[in-house]
Structure formats: structure tokens, C-alpha cells
């Protein structure tokens, strides 16, 4: 099966009250762990590549690894650019075989965001590629840029219809209180998402797929592992999984997860070295890390996204 776009996935997810997992990939073990989980559960999948991932692992290596995963699993997989910030980056991924790109114009003024998104949509649609855009601004860390809570802003439901109709984008990432990274809420702060804003957006754009970034739940099991085996992240807090489940039942069709992958991988490797200090064969510590990713993704597919058996 060739790579697919997100069009059909999102339509079915919207109608079925579930979401597709969009997992960030940076190397072979991460791709294998995620795709093995999706294969076992018959789940459609989005694998996404940030510009940082592209710099780290190289475009060709990543696309070929994803092609290998498709040969091995025969799953419907969309290959997506995460947080594209320029037309040139989106063009390079479209020309280089991606089936979906995000143009993140959320750092620009409204009119500049419309103009940039429209330009990417025109180029992408002419080549059968779909486009995710963003309105509103999440807090947290993205590609070395740290957006403080003060600079973050919720999506304005009054803008979404105008933005989507003028740009022609295929899905829209919104800000309703999620944020990037492992420290999403301050200690003592009650995790909250603005479901009222999501509902308003849903009314303005019936049937239109919404995307949630910064949606890791920062799984306590892995945070504890990192803390126990030499790490320092006692204040890591994520989005409660019941809230993500609720969002998936509403208009949210794509849920982005990266931090949970990092925590599962790093926690497992830290534990491995604490228990096996003399080992130095990378296969020995990367095998349990890959298994941890697989287990974590299976949990997300079954208990958070609800996309198991949806192929
Ligand atoms: O939203 C950002 C993702 O977690 C990707 O992170 O740019 O460090 O690869 P990265
Ligand atoms: P997390 O940091 O919550 O995993 O978010 C990832 C993300 O939004 C990637 O675009
Ligand atoms: Zn993101």
C-alpha cells in the first residue's frame, strides 16, 4: 500500500468519534515501535517529522524507513511535516514524497498567516497533498523556540470560518490549553482544557477536522522511571487522558504525541543502564526502549484515541 493522505482517515474519525494518533519520528526504533503497535491493533496512523527530526536523521533516511514500515505492516500511513514554518520547507517535503504538511503561521499576524497558508495550500493541492494550518498559539517548546504562557493565546472561534474558507486548508490546529513539552501545567494547577472553545469551533465548522498539538499525557510511569534513575523532572505534568478521549469524541481528529515517546524511550534506557551498567551494545538498550514505545502507543490507540480496528 502506498502512503495515504489524511482525508479519508479524518472523515471516518470525525464520523466515528475517534482520533488518529500523530506520532513524531526521529529514528528506526521509534518508527518500528509505533508501527508494530498500530499493526497489532489495526489502526490507521500518522507519522510526523519536524524540521529538527529532518536535520537530525535526514529526509531520505526518514522517508525510506517509513516506506520500509509500510512494506512490513501494509498499514495506511500518512507521512506529515510537523510545524513547517516556511513555504520552502513545505515545498521541499511535498516534492520529497510527504502526503501531508503543516504550515504553522501561528507566529505571524492573522493576515500573514492567511497569505502564507494559502500559498502552501495552492502548491500542495496541485500535487495531491493535504495541509494542516494553525490558528491561536500554544505555549511550550517547539524546535528550540520556547513560547511562554504569556505569549500563548487561545484560538478565537470568530476567526475560524474566515480562515478555513479563505485558505482552503484541510485541517486546523487550535489552542485550547494544551502545550508542547513535558511541563504543561504548573505544580498545584488543575489541568484544564477549554472545551467551550472547541464546541464553538465545531459549530462554526461542522464536519471539519480539528487537530490538537501538545497532547502528551506525560505518563507518570515513565516520569517516575526518569526520576528514579537519575533524572530531574519532578514537576512534569501532561493532559489527563480522559480529556483527550473527550476531545477525540468531538471534532478533534488528530492528536499529536511526541513527549510521551521521549519519556518512554529515555526512562527505559535510564532503567536499563542502572540495572546493566557494564553493557555497551546499543541493541541491548534500544530493544527494551522500542518495546516500551510499542506498549505506550498500544495504550494510546486503545484507551485514548479509540482508533483500534478502524482500518
Ligand atoms: O511540537 C514539536 C515536536 O515535539 C517536535 O519536536 O522540533 O524537537 O523535533 P522537535
Ligand atoms: P507533546 O509535546 O505534548 O508530545 O506535543 C507534540 C506535538 O504537538 C508535536 O507537534
Ligand atoms: Zn506541535
What does pTM read for this prediction?
0.97
pLDDT of residue 139: 73
pLDDT of residue 181: 97
How many angstroms does the Cα of residue 256 sit away from the middle of ligand 2?
Answer: 5
Element (H, E) at 28: helix 28-41
Mean pLDDT of 279-295: 98
The tens digit of pLDDT for each residue in 75-105 reads: 999 999 999 999 999 999 999 999 999 999 9
Beta-bridge partner residues of 145: 142
Element (H, E) at 141: strand 140-142
Rounded to 5°, angle at Cα 43 from 272 and 201: 105
pLDDT of residue 257: 99
The secondary structure of 39-76 as a DSSP string is HHHT--EEEEEEHHHHHHH-HHHHHHHHHHHHHHH---
pLDDT of residue 3: 97
The tens digit of pLDDT for each residue in 116-158 reads: 999 999 999 999 999 999 999 887 766 555 666 666 799 999 9
pLDDT of residue 293: 98
Handedness of CA 63, 69, 72, 74 (dihedral sign): negative
Q: Is 97 left (phi over 0), alpha (psi -120 to 50) or beta?
A: left
pLDDT of residue 140: 72
How many angstroms does the Cα of residue 139 sit away from the middle of ligand 2?
Answer: 11
Residue whose Cα lies nearest atom 3 of ligand 2: it is: 214
Candidate list 74, 82, 85, 242, residue with the active-site label:
82
Set of cell numbers at residue 52: 529538527
Question: CA-based Rg of the chain, rounded to a whole angstrom?
Answer: 19
C-alpha to C-alpha distance for 225 and 232, rounded to whole angstroms: 10
Mean pLDDT of 279-304: 98
194 touches 152 (CB < 8 A): no
The domain spans of the chain are 7-305
Give the CA count within 13 Å in the CB-facing half-sphere of 74. 0
Mean pLDDT of 206-231: 96
Percent of the chain whose pLDDT exceeds 90: 92
The tens digit of pLDDT for each residue in 273-284 reads: 999 999 999 999
The single residue listed with the C-alpha cell 511550550 is 140
pLDDT of residue 152: 74
Q: Which is nearest to 52 in space by CA: 88, 28, 27? A: 27
Least confident among 4-13, 138-147, 228-237, 263-272:
138-147
Average pLDDT of the chain to the nearest whole number = 96
pLDDT of residue 108: 97
The tens digit of pLDDT for each residue in 238-269 reads: 999 999 999 999 999 999 999 999 999 999 99
* Nearest atom (ligand 1) to Cα of 143: 7
C-alpha to C-alpha distance for 83 and 171, rounded to whole angstroms: 13
Contact 290 CB / ligand 2 (< 6 Å): no
pLDDT at 35 over 60: yes
Mean pLDDT of 22-37: 99
Q: Which is nearest to 63 in space by CA: 97, 89, 29? A: 97
Helix (H, G, I), strand (E, B) or coil at 137: strand
Q: Which is nearest to 245 in space by CA: 11, 3, 2, 21? A: 21
**Which CATH code fits 7-305?**
3.20.20.70
Q: Which of 27, 143, 184, 238 to mutate to test the pocket of ligand 1 (most atoms within 8 A of CB)?
A: 143
Q: Clarify whether 95 is annotated catalytic.
A: no
pLDDT, greater one: 234 or 243: 243
C-alpha to C-alpha distance for 43 and 66, rounded to whole angstroms: 16
Cβ atoms within 10 Å, residue 148: 8
Residue whose Cα lies nearest atom 1 of ligand 2: it is: 214
Confidence of residue 1 (pLDDT cuts 50, 70, 90): confident
Amino acid at each position: 500500500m502506498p502512503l495515504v493522505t489524511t482525508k479519508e482517515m479524518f472523515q471516518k474519525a470525525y464520523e466515528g468519534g475517534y482520533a488518529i494518533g500523530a506520532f513524531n519520528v526521529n529514528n528506526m526504533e521509534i518508527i518500528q515501535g509505533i508501527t508494530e503497535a498500530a499493526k497489532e491493533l489495526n489502526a490507521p496512523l500518522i507519522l510526523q517529522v519536524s524540521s529538527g527530526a529532518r536535520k537530525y536523521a535526514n529526509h531520505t533516511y526518514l522517508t525510506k524507513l517509513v516506506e520500509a514500515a509500510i512494506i512490513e505492516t501494509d498499514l495506511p500511513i500518512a507521512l506529515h511535516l510537523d510545524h513547517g514554518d516556511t513555504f520552502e520547507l513545505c515545498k521541499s517535503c511535498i516534492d520529497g514524497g510527504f502526503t501531508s504538511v503543516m504550515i504553522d503561521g501561528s507566529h505571524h499576524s492573522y493576515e500573514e498567516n492567511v497569505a502564507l497558508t494559502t500559498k502552501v495550500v495552492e502548491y500542495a493541492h496541485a500535487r495531491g497533498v493535504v495541509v494542516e494550518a494553525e490558528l491561536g498559539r500554544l505555549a511550550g517548546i517547539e524546535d528550540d523556540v520556547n513560547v511562554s504562557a504569556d505569549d500563548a493565546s487561545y484560538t478565537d472561534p470568530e476567526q475560524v470560518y474566515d480562515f478555513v474558507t479563505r485558505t482552503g486548508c484541510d485541517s486546523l490546529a487550535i489552542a485550547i490549553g494544551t502545550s508542547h513539552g513535558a511541563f504543561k501545567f504548573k505544580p498545584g494547577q488543575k489541568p484544564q482544557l477549554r472545551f467551550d472553545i472547541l464546541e464553538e469551533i465545531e459549530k462554526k465548522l461542522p464536519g471539519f477536522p480539528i487537530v490538537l498539538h501538545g497532547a502528551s499525557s506525560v505518563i507518570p510511569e515513565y516520569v517516575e522511571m526518569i526520576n528514579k534513575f537519575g533524572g530531574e523532572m519532578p514537576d512534569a505534568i501532561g493532559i489527563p487522558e480522559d480529556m483527550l478521549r473527550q476531545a477525540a469524541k468531538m471534532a478533534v481528529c488528530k492528536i499529536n504525541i511526541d513527549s510521551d515517546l521521549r519519556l518512554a524511550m529515555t526512562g527505559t534506557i535510564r532503567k536499563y543502564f542502572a540495572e546493566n551498567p557494564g553493557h555497551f551494545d546499543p541493541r541491548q538498550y534500544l530493544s527494551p526502549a522500542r518495546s516500551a514505545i510499542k506498549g505506550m502507543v498500544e495504550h494510546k490507540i486503545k484507551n485514548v484515541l479509540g482508533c483500534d480496528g478502524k482500518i
